[in-house]
Amino acid sequence: MSLRPYIVGNWKMNGTRAMLSEARAIDRAAQRYMKVEVAVAPPYTLIHAVHREAEQIAVGAQDCHPGTDGPHTGDVSAAMVADAGAKFVILGHSERREGHGESSEEVRAKLEAAIEAGLEVILCCGEPEKTRKSGEQEEYVLDQLRASLPDTLDQAGERLSVAYEPIWAIGTGRTPTLGDIGAMHASIRTFLVERFGEQDGSQIRILYGGSVKPDNAREILAVAEVGGALVGGASLTADSFMNIALAAGEGDDQ
Ligand code: 13P
């Protein structure tokens, strides 16, 4: 498994074919930033088109259904996104947990379906503001992970990343302190090693997400156990997104 920083753009519900020029620009820049692994998750409608443009970056989906096929109007299966060119899928994002009432049990079913379909998974977790205020954030996040992850990984550890995204930091311009990010990532690492053993548990990358921008990326990515970033708003232009990638590569433009 590559240990390069993993910088992933989550385009959320943004982007029509007009955005393909940004995807091309991201891909071209990524070819020069080889110290960093760059990926984007566009809406379903653009997965195939971005995949066709991309020579360097991986393309992913933002969700998938836990089933393989059948009467699920409006849903898309893991095999379908893989067929469209997705290499990974983001699962359990707070905007799905909150906006679509997704439980951790449902996220776990999706995760198992995605692994079965050969996809890599970025599993999201993160606490709401009131939980952070009450000081119960670690318990909350570890409970989410406990219920969203399978009991064993069966060699799939290298295909899994966890993204810690405090809900109150998403799209707000606010971030936890570096100390708070470090504390949460350390707890997640301890949990993963306890759950899956040293070998699998220590190789799962733990990304941070929530208001990552070019001007805070370098310090956040330098925190121990931060293996990359899941970026929303700042991934929508090649310029800001690739400045984050540049910061992740410590300025190396090789
Ligand atoms: P922002 O970077 O816009 O805060 O979004 C973070 C996020 O939700 C990525 O999945």
**134: amino acid identity, one letter:** S
Does residue 10 lie in a domain region? yes
pLDDT(3) > 70: yes
Continuous segment of H or E residues that includes residue 80: helix 78-84
Structure tokens at 34: 């080889």
Q: At 88, which CATH number?
A: 3.20.20.70
Instruction: Report the number of distinct structural domains present in the chain.
Output: 1
Per-residue confidence (pLDDT) for residue 145, from 0 to 100: 98
Structure tokens given for 22: 């940004």
Residue 214 lies in a domain: yes
From the list 93, 102, 106, 185, the catalytic residue is: 93
Task: Tell me if residue 93 is catalytic.
Answer: yes
Using CB atoms within 10 A of its CB, is residue 44 exposed (0-12), middle (13-18) or buried (19+)?
middle
Q: Classify 226 as helix, strand or coil.
A: coil
DSSP conformation class of 155: T
Q: Is residue 123 part of a domain?
A: yes
Report pLDDT digits (tens) over 174-226: 999 999 999 999 999 999 999 999 988 999 999 999 999 999 999 999 999 99
Residue 57 lies in a domain: yes
Say what the pTM is.
Answer: 0.96
Please report the pLDDT score of residue 254 as a whole number: 38
Position with higher pLDDT, 59 vs 252: 59
Q: What is the pLDDT of residue 154?
A: 78
Asked about 219 being catalytic, the answer comes back as: no
pLDDT in tens, 16-73: 999 999 999 999 999 999 999 999 999 999 999 999 999 999 999 999 999 999 999 9
Going by CA atoms, what residue is nearest to atom 2 of ligand 1? 232
Q: Is residue 65 domain-resident?
A: yes
Whether 216 maps to a domain, the answer reads: yes
- Ligand 1, pocket-test mutation among 8, 91, 212, most atoms within 8 A of CB: 212
Of 22, 53, 95, 165, the catalytic one is 165
Its domain, for residue 245, covers 6-253
Kindly state whether residue 1 falls inside one of the protein's structural domains. no
Ligand 1 within 6 A of CB of 233: yes
- Cβ of 173 closer than 6 Å to ligand 1, yes or no, is no
Residue 237 belongs to a domain: yes
In this prediction, residues 148-162 reach a mean pLDDT of: 88
**What separation in Å is there between the alpha carbon of 197 and the centre of ligand 1?**
30
Q: How far is CA 27 from CA 45, 83, 187, 215, 222, in A?
A: 19, 20, 34, 21, 24
